[in-house]
């Protein structure tokens, strides 16, 4: 930093070169804005999709902001903030991941104008903070309360979330499915909390998204293990979840046992057989007729021999159950995992009406239905004609589930279609006139920045954005709070009546997270690299 002093004895520096600080701030803002512009075209129901090609040759088609930014390799440190921003929006609300980045980009553009006009970054930052608090009040005032018993409203907000996805034509099927899935796992003791880990999404290639279904029970994406006996259906099942191996024991360390004659070899095989038979008899004694066996690293969880004896004992086996699925399975079946054959007792088993292997095209799955005293979990079986559609259907369903979860947490709905943003812009603009000095000037420019959402919605739908936004402003000034852009009809209508609604939490968290991120970028005046 160059400092030229007026005289060798002067205590104060008369000139400080601040150019570097301004350059770095501008570079940060430009980098972050370019990231925002990259996802801007995929905003809204008529937004474009992005095709992402990864280094490993994998191709992903999506228009979910969080997914796009997550896969982008962003090198500039400030631009990484926007990637983190969409991630945090995904965690808090699950939807609105593109919106939050677009708002941040627009706010940064206004900051650039204010900075070049000579406004101090701290003043801008303080004004932004006030704007964010005021915005949340305005949004809360225009929201509509909703009850969880009002299934129609929940379905409307879930389908609004799905309408901007690649699988939007299936929203009439996926929206009710998401609502039912979340309502199934809501615990009456803690009605405000929903853990989405209790909703398991199983993807199976084949069929179309139309074949997606909600299963009250468990689905395993594997077939029944059968050495012989072809047992594929068990009624009145008693299910044991085991974490031990039904195979002959091995030594703990790598050892080779040398057998010199056949009698010894026969003895070893006979011992092995007796060992396995002893285990299976203990299992059979409890009345268990379905076994779910956890994957084992140390040695084979089951051998051909043990499968043969299990089939003879009329016990259906599903092997290679992943370790992280055990918790979900035991919660659903309301049973306990069994870690040792000695602890295998009837009271640790789960009970179900039917366990069967079902064919889906060429592939097979195992379904467990009619579980007695079933835990509060649910399984969604997603189908799709190819892997790209399957993955996108899963992401879209996750967003829809998150939207319903938002409504369980904060039971308020708000209009969509750019209505809340224009209303915010109008009210902040009016508020700016009351404020004094620099603050009012900053608030006014941030109010303008919020018009980016309706502008982009209109632009992506191929409408005339300037005409539409002007008309929107006019309608809102006349007191039509819920007037928004109807991209299907290409005109402005009352969006609440058109059933385009979203949870209040999505809008409020988008505004507060975007302003927080922009304030952080503004406060940075130097980048120090450490080797």
Q: Give me the mean pLDDT over the 202-209 stretch.
A: 89
Q: Is 192 a catalytic residue?
A: no
In a domain, 252, yes or no: yes
Note if 97 is an active site residue: yes
291 and 310 assigned to the same domain:
yes
In a domain, residue 275? The reply is yes
State whether 422 and 516 are in the same domain.
yes
Least confident of 42-46, 55-59, 189-193, 476-480: 189-193
Question: Of the listed 64, 90, 95, 198, which one is catalytic?
Answer: 64
CATH number at residue 466: 1.10.560.10
Q: What is the DSSP letter of 223?
A: P
CATH of the domain at 256: 3.50.7.10
12 belongs to a structural domain: no
Is residue 406, in this structure, part of any structural domain at all?
yes
Catalytic residue among 62, 67, 98, 212: 98
What the block records as the tokens of 473 is 């402003």
Higher model confidence: residue 30 or residue 12?
A: 30
pTM of the model: 0.83
| Contacts for 28 with CB less than 8 Å, ≥ 6 apart | 76, 77, 78, 521, 524, 527
Residues 229 and 344 in one domain: yes
pLDDT band at 5 (very low <50, low <70, confident <90, very high): very low
Give the mean model confidence (pLDDT) for residues 89-110: 91
- Can 261 be counted among the known catalytic residues? no
Contact 331, 183 (CB under 8 A): no
Same structural domain for residues 67 and 209? no
The verdict on 227 and 363 lying in the same domain is yes
CB contact set of 265 (below 8 Å; sequence gap of 6+): 259
Mark whether 62 and 93 lie in a shared domain.
Answer: yes
pLDDT mean over 491-500: 87
Q: What is the CATH number of the domain that holds 161?
A: 3.30.260.10
Q: Considering the chain, what is the average pLDDT of its residues? A: 88
Asked whether residue 188 falls in the same domain as residue 239, the answer is: no
Is the domain of 203 the same as that of 224?
no
How many domains does the structure of the chain reveal?
Answer: 3
Minimum mean pLDDT among 13-22, 46-55, 262-271: which range?
A: 13-22
Q: What is the pLDDT of residue 466?
A: 93
- Domain containing residue 41: 17-145+414-523
In this prediction, residue 259 has a pLDDT band, given cuts at 50, 70 and 90, of confident
State yes or no: is 99 an active-site residue: no
Q: Are residues 165 and 206 located together in one domain of the fold? A: yes
Confirm whether 89 is domain-assigned.
yes
**The predicted structure's pLDDT at residue 258:** 83
Res. 191: pLDDT tops 90: no
CB atoms within 10 A of CB 292: 28
Within a 13 Å sphere around the CA of 117, how many CA atoms are in the beta-carbon half?
A: 13
From the candidates 90, 198, 391, 399, give the one annotated as an active-site residue: 399
3-state secondary structure of 68: helix
Is pLDDT of 352 > 90?
A: yes
Same-domain pairing of 135 and 156? no
Average pLDDT rounded to a whole number, residues 282-300: 87
| pLDDT tens track for 363-400 | 888 999 999 988 889 999 999 998 889 998 999 999 89
> Using CA atoms, how far apart are residues 484 and 284, in angstroms rounded to an integer?
65
Question: Is 8 within the bounds of a domain?
Answer: no
Q: Please name the residues in contact with 221: beta carbons below 8 A apart, sequence gap of 6 or more.
A: 202, 203, 204, 365
Query: Pairing mode, if any, of strands 316-321 and 290-294?
Result: parallel
351 and 484 inside one domain: no
* Domain end call among 319, 350, 373: 373
pLDDT for res 417: 87
pLDDT tens digits, one per residue of 297-314: 777 788 888 888 888 888
Residue 261 pLDDT > 80: yes
- Amino acid 245: pLDDT: 86
Last residue of a domain, one of 373, 399, 434: 373
Q: Are residues 141 and 268 in the same domain?
A: no
Q: In the beta sheet, which residues pair with residue 413?
A: 144, 503
Q: Is the dihedral of CA 392, 395, 401, 405 positive or negative?
A: negative
Tell me how far apart the alpha carbons of residues 65 and 403 are, in angstroms, rounded to a whole number: 15
**Residue at 249 is within a domain:** yes
Which of 360, 395, 410 finishes a domain?
A: 410
Q: Give the pLDDT mean for 306-324.
A: 88
Domain for residue 353, yes or no? yes
Catalytic residue among 62, 67, 97, 212: 97
> Dihedral, CA atoms, 384, 396, 33, 458, nearest 10 degrees?
100
pLDDT digits (tens, 9 = 90+) for 331-349: 999 999 999 889 899 899 9
């Amino acid at each position: 930093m160059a400092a030229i002093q007026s005289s060798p004895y002067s205590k104060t520096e008369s000139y400080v070169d601040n150019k570097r600080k301004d350059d770095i701030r501008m570079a940060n803002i430009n980098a972050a804005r370019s990231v925002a512009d990259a996802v801007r075209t995929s905003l809204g129901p008529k937004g474009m999709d992005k095709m992402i090609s990864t280094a490993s040759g994998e191709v992903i088609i999506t228009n979910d902001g969080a997914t796009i930014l997550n896969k982008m390799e962003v090198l500039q440190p400030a631009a990484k903030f926007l990637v983190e921003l969409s991630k945090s929006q995904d965690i808090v609300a699950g939807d609105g991941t593109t919106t939050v980045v677009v708002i941040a980009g627009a706010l940064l553009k206004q900051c650039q104008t204010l900075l070049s006009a000579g406004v101090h970054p701290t003043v801008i930052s303080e004004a932004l903070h006030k704007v964010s608090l005021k915005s949340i009040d305005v949004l809360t005032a225009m929201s509509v309360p909703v009850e969880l018993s009002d299934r129609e409203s929940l379905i409307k907000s879930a389908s609004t979330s799905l309408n901007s996805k690649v699988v939007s034509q299936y929203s009439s099927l996926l929206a009710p499915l998401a609502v039912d899935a979340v309502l199934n796992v809501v615990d009456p003791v803690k009605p405000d909390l929903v853990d989405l880990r209790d909703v398991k999404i199983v993807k199976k290639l084949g069929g179309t998204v139309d074949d997606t279904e909600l299963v009250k029970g468990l689905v395993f994406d594997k077939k029944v293990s059968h050495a012989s006996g072809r047992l594929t259906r068990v009624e009145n099942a008693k299910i044991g979840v085991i974490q031990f191996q039904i195979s002959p024991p091995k030594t703990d360390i790598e050892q080779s046992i040398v057998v010199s004659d056949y009698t010894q070899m026969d003895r070893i095989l006979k011992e092995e057989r007796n060992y396995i038979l002893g285990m299976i008899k203990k299992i059979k004694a409890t009345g268990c007729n379905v076994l779910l066996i956890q994957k084992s690293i140390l040695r084979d969880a089951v051998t051909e021999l043990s499968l043969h004896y299990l089939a003879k004992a009329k016990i259906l086996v599903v092997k290679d159950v992943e370790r992280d699925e055990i918790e979900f399975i035991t919660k659903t079946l309301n049973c306990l995992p069994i870690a040792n054959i000695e602890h295998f007792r009837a009271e640790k088993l789960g009970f179900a009406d039917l366990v069967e292997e079902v064919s889906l095209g060429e592939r097979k799955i195992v379904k467990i239905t009619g579980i007695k005293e079933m835990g509060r979990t649910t399984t969604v079986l997603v189908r799709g004609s190819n892997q790209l559609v399957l993955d996108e259907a899963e992401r879209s369903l996750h967003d829809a589930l998150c939207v319903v979860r938002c409504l369980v947490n904060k039971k308020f709905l708000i209009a969509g279609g750019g209505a809340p943003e224009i209303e915010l812009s109008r009210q902040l603009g009016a508020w700016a006139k009351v404020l004094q000095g620099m603050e009012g000037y900053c608030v006014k420019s941030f109010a303008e920045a919020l018009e980016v959402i309706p502008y982009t919605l209109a632009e992506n739908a191929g409408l005339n954005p300037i005409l539409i936004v002007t008309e929107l402003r006019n309608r809102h000034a006349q007191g039509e709070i819920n007037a928004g852009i109807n991209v299907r009809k290409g005109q402005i209508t009352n969006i609440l009546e058109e059933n385009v609604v979203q949870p209040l939490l999505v809008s409020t968290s988008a505004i507060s997270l975007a302003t927080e991120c922009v304030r952080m970028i503004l406060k940075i005046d130097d980048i120090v690299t450490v080797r």
